[in-house]
Amino acid sequence: MALYAIGDLHLSFQSDKSMDHFGKVWRNHERQLEKNCDRMISEEDVLVLVGDHSWGRKLSECEKDLEYIQNLPGKKVLIRGNHDMFWDAKKTERLNEKFAGKLFFLQNNYYPYGDYALVGTKGYCYEGFDSEEHAAMLVEREAKRLKASFEASRCDGYTKFIMFLHYPPTSMWERTSRFTFMAEVFSSRIMRARR
């Protein structure tokens, strides 16, 4: 059972916001991803999608995008990204009920992976686009969500963790953050898909 991670699919099967205008590398990117996943990933493997799944702003606007993800091989675990407007963090449990056995939405919970618990959250790092106060509030909120993920898995007996974030764990000016500190406290491995 192998573990794979990728992020920022920005699917737009029901949206006019195509990624094609970002250059030829994005043209038909969903077909290339599907081809590579079919070649590499088996049904027993786990594929973690670390955010920005769809341009759809409501669940009804990203049904085809989520169906595309469901049809990729392996067990799919999704983490919220900053563009995933369809996913209200407070409704994660409802999403997990609706997509049970097809997709797992990772927020304030965990996903079992052998002896490990997969934990994660969107995260946040200050990029200079908003006030430092607002950024600090977002970091605090996401740190609480990540801690809930760690604690839920630890309550169920897990002692080994693999941590996923949508954002990098630190900004370009930081060497450590609330997220790196939490990873050290829980002795987890930090996994971050390359953009």
- Going from N- to C-terminal start, the domains of the chain cover 1-105, 108-195
Question: Are 182 and 147 in contact, with CB atoms under 8 Å apart?
Answer: yes
pLDDT > 70 fraction of the chain, expressed in percent and rounded: 91
| Per-residue pLDDT at 23 | 63
Confidence check: pLDDT of 192 > 80? no
Q: How many CB atoms lie within 10 A of CB 42?
A: 9
DSSP state of 58: S
| Per-residue pLDDT at 98 | 95
| Per-residue pLDDT at 176 | 87
Residue range 66-77: mean pLDDT, rounded:
96
- Whose tokens are 């169920």? That residue is 156
| Per-residue pLDDT at 93 | 94
CATH 3.60.21.10 fits 1-105, yes or no: yes
